[in-house]
Amino acid sequence: MYLEIVTPEAMLFSGEVDSVAVPGINGEFQMLDNHAPIVSLLQEGHVKIKGNIDLNEEVQDKFSKDGDDTLLAINSGTIELNENKIIILAD
């Protein structure tokens, strides 16, 4: 599945991932390959990305690692998943 993470400042990540978990306004939820389409608001928390991802040097300081997970702290945002492409607009 393909993931894009965009902030007002820059595109932080763009690439293939195995799964993504996000802090939805009604609780955390995870999306795997071939997940049903979804649009949701996000609240403060961490976007958890699983997969072998390669981060640009310019944005590596925004991400952290927790075991196999790559984490990105967000304050809020929106997420759209359609046809195995996830777009996260994060603050």
Average pLDDT, the chain: 96
The two tokens of residue 22 are 């996000």
- For residue 16, the enclosing domain spans 2-90
Q: What is the pTM of this model?
A: 0.95
Six-digit token pair at 60?
Answer: 């590596």
Give how many domains the chain has, as a whole number.
1
| Amino acid type, 74 | I
Instruction: Give residue 52's pLDDT band: very low, low, confident or very high (50, 70, 90).
Output: confident
Cα dihedral 85/29/70/34 (nearest 10): -30
CATH number of the domain that 22 lies in?
Answer: 2.60.15.10
In this prediction, residue 7 carries a pLDDT of 96
